[in-house]
């Protein structure tokens, strides 16, 4: 019985070693590991709507990032809107602006109607985009926004995140 249990344990040890060794070989020589970078910006500033429904860009959030040929880019914006009660029915629209060009999609549009409780309302908004066709090189991204009431604003705790990867 002693030889068989020793042989059995030896076989198990060889199998485990082969598995670990195979994984190390695969991971070091064959696996393609993602490469890329991450950038992040945060703001607690207040951004008011321009009059006449004109587009504005964020004074507080801006990221300079670099794309290597073949990379994909992920953009994420999180923020808060303050839709003021005095403005009556109103809306705010938010888009990404890359290299000074406002992207048509994606966007978020939030409406406020006078039926909302007095005192206004604060809402969280999120905007994300995944882009496989952005050109290689240096770029700048910020948030573009507009609304139809100067009483409304982008409100504290906004963040912008960019990630490039293969």
CATH number of the domain at 137, please: 2.60.120.660
* Residue 112 sits in the same domain as residue 143: yes
Quick: pLDDT tens for 122-147: 889 999 999 999 999 999 999 999 99
* Residue 21 sits in the same domain as residue 88: no
Token duo for residue 107 = 């966007």
Instruction: Compute the average pLDDT of residues 79-100.
Output: 87
The number of distinct structural domains making up the chain is 2
Alpha-helical (H) ranges within the chain are 2-25
Place of tokens 């048509």: 104
pLDDT value of position 36: 85
* Residue 19 sits in the same domain as residue 47: no
E runs forming strands in 19-152: 36-43, 47-48, 56-67, 72-83, 90-98, 101-112, 121-131, 137-147
* Residue 6 sits in the same domain as residue 42: no
* Residue 13 sits in the same domain as residue 91: no
- Cα of first residue to Cα of last residue in the chain, in angstroms, is 55
Q: Name which residue leads in pLDDT, 39 or 29.
A: 39
Range of 20's domain?
1-31
In whole angstroms, give the CA distance from residue 128 to residue 75. Answer: 5
pLDDT over 90 (residue 10): no
In whole angstroms, give the CA distance from residue 46 to residue 151. Answer: 12
* Residue 135 sits in the same domain as residue 156: yes
* Residue 26 sits in the same domain as residue 43: no
* Residue 66 sits in the same domain as residue 91: yes
Task: Label the pairing between strands 137-147 and 56-67.
Answer: antiparallel
pLDDT over 60 (residue 1): no
pLDDT value of position 6: 75
pLDDT value of position 24: 67
């Amino acid at each position: 019985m002693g030889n068989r249990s020793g042989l059995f344990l030896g076989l198990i040890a060889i199998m485990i070693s082969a598995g670990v060794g195979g994984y190390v070989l695969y991971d070091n020589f064959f696996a393609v590991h993602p490469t890329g970078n991450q950038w992040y910006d945060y703001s607690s500033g207040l951004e008011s709507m321009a009059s006449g429904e004109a587009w504005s860009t964020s004074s507080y959030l801006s990221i300079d990032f670099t794309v290597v040929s073949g990379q994909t880019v992920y953009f994420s914006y999180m923020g808060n809107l303050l839709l003021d009660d005095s403005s009556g029915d109103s809306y705010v629209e938010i888009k990404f602006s890359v290299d000074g060009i406002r992207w048509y999609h994606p966007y978020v549009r939030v409406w406020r109607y006078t039926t909302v409780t007095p005192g206004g309302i604060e809402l969280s908004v999120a905007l994300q985009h995944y882009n496989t066709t952005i050109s290689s090189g240096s770029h700048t991204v910020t948030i573009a926004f507009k609304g139809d009431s100067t009483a409304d604003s982008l409100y504290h705790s906004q963040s912008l995140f960019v990630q490039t990867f293969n």
